[in-house]
């Protein structure tokens, strides 16, 4: 088993283009780690300047969202071809904030995932339960359902390249990290689900991140879990602490 770790920052709605360039320049010496794929998912308007600032470094610039149509009358949306043209290789799909505030559903997530693969952009597919769902004891059922719909009509070769981010909603931006056991339990269940949908080789290859208040302090233990292949990081991705997360094994 030798999955390469992937640590992605999700800047959310932060950083003007000028600030984005300054942040990339500040973080670039801190996020060097040959063992890890490093991605900064940034607001659409920051993609081009961040890409320029990251040239020649190990930083990949990703997007936070993408629409599932090729082009046309969809005011305000970003197309996969636009991301291709800008050189974007990763896109976050179905973050819980998009589901909550922008009415994204498992079905639109699936359409976006298929479209991303069509354009050879790696989707970082988000799933996660609310606090109520966790308290009701339906976490695993809920996550399995999200995964099954997200991967409808996705073939095994594509699934092998996908990244899944397990982000318990109650742990996002709250400072409340899931315990290592909670995070590992759900990430393992996701891998089992992928094994059922595809086969053992696909389950073994797919990378599963944990997200939710990840910090330089919590990353080493989380990323040492057998089914956790890195993190999707919000708040800490805007600070030098992100360098510690990327260098969790040093
Ligand atoms: P925080 O790391 O700020 O909790 O955000 C997690 C997240 O939503 C990443 O996508």
Give Cβ neighbours of residue 26 (< 8 Å, ≥ 6 apart): 240
Looking at 52, 64, 95, 181, which residue is catalytic?
95
CA distance linking residue 193 with residue 191, whole number of Å: 5
Quick check: is 167 catalytic?
yes
CA distance linking residue 153 with residue 85, whole number of Å: 26
Pocket lining: 231 vs ligand 1, CB cutoff 6 Å:
no
pLDDT score, position 236: 98
CA of 125 to the centre of ligand 1 (A): 14
Q: Which helix (H) or strand (E) holds 194?
A: helix 180-197
Pocket lining: 222 vs ligand 1, CB cutoff 6 Å:
no
CA of 131 to the centre of ligand 1 (A): 15
Mutate-to-test residue for ligand 1 from 168, 214, 222, highest number of ligand atoms within 8 A of CB: 214
Pocket lining: 233 vs ligand 1, CB cutoff 6 Å:
yes
User: Tokens for 111?
Assistant: 């359409």
DSSP code of residue 7: E
Q: What percent of the chain clears pLDDT 90, i.e. is strictly above it?
A: 97
CA of 177 to the centre of ligand 1 (A): 10
10 Å CB burial of residue 161 (0-12, 13-18, 19+) is middle
- The answer to whether 248 touches 214, Cβ cutoff 8 Å, is no
Q: What is the pLDDT of residues 26-63, one digit of tens each?
A: 999 999 999 999 999 999 999 999 999 999 999 999 99
CA distance linking residue 86 with residue 82, whole number of Å: 6
Q: What is the pLDDT of residues 106-120, one digit of tens each?
A: 999 999 999 999 999
The region of weakest confidence among 31-45, 173-187, 190-204 is 173-187
Supply the pTM of this predicted model. 0.98
Quick check: is 95 catalytic?
yes
CA distance linking residue 69 with residue 221, whole number of Å: 40
Q: Cα-flanking dihedrals φ and ψ of residue 7, to 5°?
A: -115, 120
Pocket lining: 211 vs ligand 1, CB cutoff 6 Å:
yes
CA-proximal residue: ligand 1, atom 5 (nearest): 234
Q: What is the mean pLDDT of residues 215-226?
A: 98
Pocket lining: 65 vs ligand 1, CB cutoff 6 Å:
no
Looking at 64, 104, 167, 196, which residue is catalytic?
167
Q: What is the mean pLDDT of residues 77-94?
A: 98
- Residue 1's pLDDT band, with cuts at 50, 70 and 90, is low
CA of 199 to the centre of ligand 1 (A): 30
């Amino acid at each position: 088993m030798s999955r390469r770790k992937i640590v992605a920052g999700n800047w959310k709605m932060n950083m003007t283009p000028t600030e984005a360039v300054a942040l990339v320049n500040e973080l670039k010496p801190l996020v060097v780690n040959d063992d890890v794929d490093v991605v900064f998912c940034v607001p659409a308007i920051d993609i081009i300047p961040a890409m320029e600032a990251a040239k020649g470094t190990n930083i990949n610039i990703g997007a936070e969202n993408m629409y599932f149509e090729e082009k046309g009358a969809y005011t305000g949306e970003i197309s996969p071809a636009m991301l291709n043209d800008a050189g974007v290789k990763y896109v976050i799909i179905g973050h819980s904030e998009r589901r909550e505030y922008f009415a994204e559903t498992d079905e639109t997530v699936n359409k976006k995932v298929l479209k991303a693969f069509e354009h050879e952009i790696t989707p970082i597919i988000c799933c996660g339960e609310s606090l109520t769902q966790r308290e009701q004891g339906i976490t695993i059922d809920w996550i399995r359902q999200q995964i099954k719909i997200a991967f409808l009509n996705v073939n095994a070769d594509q699934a092998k390249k996908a990244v899944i981010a397990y982000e318990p909603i109650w742990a996002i931006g709250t400072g409340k990290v899931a315990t290592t056991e909670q995070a590992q339990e759900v990430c393992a269940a996701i891998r089992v689900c992928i094994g059922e949908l595809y086969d053992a080789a696909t389950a073994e290859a797919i990378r599963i991140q944990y997200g939710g208040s990840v910090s330089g302090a919590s990353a080493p233990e989380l990323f040492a879990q057998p089914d956790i292949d890195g993190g999707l990081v919000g708040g800490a991705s805007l600070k030098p602490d992100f360098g510690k997360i990327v260098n969790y094994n040093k």
